[in-house]
Amino acid sequence: MSEPVKLYVYDLSQGMARSMSRSLTGKQIDGIWHTSVVVFGQEFYFGQGIMASAPGTTQHGRPLEVIDMGETYLPLEVVVEYIDSLRSVYTAEKYHLLDFNCNTFSNDLCQFLCGKTIPGHITDLPAEFLNTPFGQSILPMIEGMFGQSKLSNGSSSIAPPPSAQAASMLQGLSSAAMSAAPTTVQPVQFVSDSNVMEKYLTQYKAVAVMFTSATCPPCKVIKPEFIKMVEEKHQGHDNIKLLGVVMDTGSPTFQSHKYNIRGVPTFQFFLNGKKTAEFSGANYAELKSQVDMLLFDAFPPHPHRKVLLRSIVDQPNVPITYAVPGKLDMIYGKLNTFLQEANIELDLNQKKVLDGSKVYLENPNSNSIDLNGWKLLLDQLLNKLKTDQLFPLLDIFKSLIIHKQVSDFYVTDPTQISKIMEIGYTQDPAPLRATWLMILRISCNIFANTSLSTTHFTSNLAASHRSELTQLLITSLLAKDAQIRQAAASLAYNCSTSIAIERLKKEEGTFKGMAEQEDDDWLVELSSAVLDALTKETDQEIIHRLLAAIGKYIFLAPTEGSSVANLLSALDIDGILNAKKNENIIESSKLN
């Protein structure tokens, strides 16, 4: 299956190059190009390292142009592995405006995906730019910011200094370039230029500024505390939530009238570029109070964090799995009986594969499993055995898939698992209890491997098999058999756990996933099915699992764009829970 590859093109100068380049350089330059690559529903680009976002949602806004680069036939897992291998190469520290930038990364990725390079007018722009008097005049300034350029021919050292107009142009270009690949990755920046400070105020949501001078004794006392405070607020976060700026008022480029500074130290606090508070003096308590207030206003906690929800918060985000294998001699014996009844005779290699799977389950360190042979054998037997004869075969698979070596194998191609899920909801379930149960347990066990479950069965990627898993879950929640319903409730809980883990990572600022599970339509579908099952359920253990799943579907859900809470309210979840409580089916403590 192929996947389209798109190149998104942005103009970092926001039209400045098009309007000013001819008068400054003598050449028409239509843009200062930043590019990113869109594939598998994600936009990859080089910024603070290699970044991934939903297409069109980066800080660069809407792309100026979208170029069709062709198609890739590489599977998602191979692409992710390749991008991960580049992370140690494409770091923020190595960014260079001329030599090693976003376009370098896009070019490498496009060549890997589909064997094509990005358009030459993009990659050739730095050399073209430097081959002008304007380019040569500002090369020393660029090299001062980003280091020596490979394009430098030595003439920059004797080039005339840039004019005031050229310096202004460079300031705009450098600000745009740093917004694409910020060299300011540290949470505290030391600034002497008011223009640089203005750039930070527009680039970061929350900024705390300390105005100081080298001759101020109180400044020397409070400055280390200010730096320490900002760094502590940043600890554990990949992105800078609070930027601290130390501004030297003694600099000749400092514009005192702009900030109305009458003495130092003075602290000013900015939210979305607007000043929200100010005080003067080395007052640590006031500083801490203002910093905390700024962060609260910039990143207000989720409303759920203001309520004591111990039953949800204390739940471990660990999937429910069926890790203990059954009696292997009995399971393999039953399978052999079914093979004989179906007149299926395994050849020597197939027997070796089947025997090797048993040895592996008895001792996973034996390395006796032939995974390619197992996959081929499983496909053949799925087609030859009757559906009601599949359960011992699927019982073996259920015990195999829990092991990382096996589940990693299926990360590259999970279609066989999807095919097994389809059996659970496309066949008449009445005579298939044992087979149906094993299919559900296999589905639960895939959650032991995060890459397998999130990428292929709970994400909204185009190649995901989420629809098969969802259909199996919805069909099974209302089964007549209690064991089937319990396994289905476990599967619903596992889906909620993958969503909860992602939300917690987002809250902590550590989420780096590329396959988001936060899909409102899917959550509405799951919640509706679980609540419908809860209404009819009388088994206490199943009810507890369904309640836990619903709790995680709601907990930390986005305050905007999420319909789950409104849906549950409309379906009278409070009335349903109170009815269960009055029937003594659930304990009051489970509702807190």
Q: Which residues are part of the catalytic machinery?
A: 34, 102
Alpha-carbon gap, residue 549 to 546, rounded angstroms: 5
Residues forming beta bridges with residue 208, ordered by sequence position: 244, 269
Alpha-carbon gap, residue 87 to 429, rounded angstroms: 48
What are all long-range contacts of 317-320, with beta carbons under 8 Å and residues at least 24 apart? 317/497, 317/500, 317/501, 317/504, 318/497, 319/444, 319/447, 319/448, 319/453, 319/493, 319/494, 319/497, 319/498, 320/444, 320/490, 320/493, 320/494, 320/545
Alpha-carbon gap, residue 190 to 244, rounded angstroms: 9
Alpha-carbon gap, residue 89 to 104, rounded angstroms: 11
- Answer for the pair 122, 67: CB distance below 8 angstroms, yes or no: no
HEC letters along 459-504: CCCCCCCHHHHHHHHHHHHCCCCHHHHHHHHHHHHHHHHHHHHHHH
Tokens of 213: 């001078």
Residues 6+ apart with CB under 8 A from 486: 539, 541, 542, 545
Nearest to 358, CA basis, from 381, 386, 407, 325: 325
φ/ψ bin of 539: left (φ > 0), alpha (ψ from -120 to 50), beta (otherwise): beta
Residues 6+ apart with CB under 8 A from 484: 429, 433, 436, 437, 440, 476
Nearest to 524, CA basis, from 578, 581, 567, 487: 567
State the angle between helix axes of 348-362 and 371-384 in degrees (0 to 180), rounded to the nearest 10: 110
Tokens of 257: 């009238």
Polymer length in residues for the chain: 592
Residues 6+ apart with CB under 8 A from 570: none
Nearest to 31, CA basis, from 128, 165, 109, 118: 128
3 state DSSP class of 51: strand
Residue 119 is given by DSSP the state P
Alpha-carbon distance values, 231 to 32, 245, 247, 279, 507 (Å): 33, 12, 17, 21, 18
Q: How far apart are the first and last CA of the chain?
A: 48
